[in-house]
Structure 1
Amino acid sequence: MTTRQTNIIAILRSSTDETVQLYAELSPEQLQTPVYSEEVQWTVRQVLAHLITIEKTMHWLFRNILDGGPGSPDDFDVARFNRTQPQKLDHLSLQQLLQRFKTVREETIAIVAGMADADFDRKGWHVFLGHDRLERFIRWAYEHARLHEDDIRRAIAPPL
């Protein structure tokens, strides 16, 4: 394995543990706390569903770029995706969501583990990040989760 692979996989694994730990410590009331209320209206629990659905979709993006494709389709509507996809997991328990998150993240790790070093430099299009290298899109998986987790911590923090 290359240094890049090893580094990315280590961060993906540690960020998985951080996400699971955060959710494991939340009360049922905290899970229902609104985090966003503008374009999408997600509770803490629904943010986890979003992380699952978007990272699963990113697997398609990664494989497309690895196969020589352009990346995200021009007509991919991220706003519609965010409005519709997380709610498809509303029927799952927190434990089922956490297991699904771990499974999706392990698939991300498997994709990275199967890459050659030159693959990280392949170029493609990401609907949110624009044109960039595949490495940037893979790193976005854990950066994106951290951004949402920071928002969760702010949402559940007691008022000053």
Structure 2
Amino acid sequence: MSRPKSNEYNPHFKGYIGLVPDGHLQNILRNQLEESISFFKAISKEKSEYRYAEGKWSIKEVLGHLVDTERIMCYRLLAIARGDQSPLPSFDENAYNENANFNRLELEQILIEYETVRHATLSLLANLSDETLELEGTVLNHPTTPRAIAYIIAGHELHHLKIINERYL
């Protein structure tokens, strides 16, 4: 799968896509899965509930946000890949996080959910043709391809892992 062109996604996502290294995207996503599970398992219970500032999410909530966002992105990817031309809306990440109550869960529970969602993402991508990955739909009022969404998933995770390393650990 080649890197998407800038006209395949909303400019809002440019930073995420730019974080994705060169290489086979499915391998990158598989490696992220292994690396992220190891990364989060090494975080203590106390640290997993840490917030670096008032009103900021805990590490558990950041991980939960990664799960929720990947689910939403995969729905968008699937809808476009299946030819759905309905405009796909944004979502309120803060409302999702507030209503998820990730802090009441053990970090391990959220990691199981993360692993499940990532395996579903990889399964979906494995079954799409190159032509399907270039179909166009509308996300956030902008033409978007499934290929771009797959890159956004990878880059979004890299973005948040960078923030965790810089501000939490």
What is the TM-score of this pair, normalised by structure 1? 0.81
1:29 equivalenced with 2:46 (yes/no): yes
Amino acid paired to 2:109: Q
- Ranked by relative contact order (alpha carbons within 8 Å, sequence separation 6 or more), the top structure is 2
Aligned ranges 1:43-122 → 2 under 5 Å: 43-70=58-85, 72-73=87-88, 76-78=89-91, 80=92, 82-87=93-98, 88-90=100-102, 91-122=104-135
Aligned ranges 1:142-157 → 2 under 5 Å: 142-157=154-169
SS at the partner of 1:131? Answer: strand
Deviation track 1:98-151 (CA, whole Å, cap 9, x = no partner) reads: 0100000011001101101111111122339x4232211111111100100100
Q: 1:89 to 1:118 in 2, by over 3 A?
A: farther
Distance 1:45 1:133 in 2: 30
Q: 1:71 to 1:54 in 2, by over 3 A?
A: farther
Distance 1:36 1:69 in 2: 41
Task: Provide the aligned C-alpha RMSD in A.
Answer: 2.3
Aligned to 2:144: 132
What is the TM-score of this pair, normalised by structure 2? 0.77
Runs of 4+ in 1 over 6 A off after TM superposition: none
What are the ranges of 5 or more consecutive residues in structure 1 without an aligned counterpart?
A: none
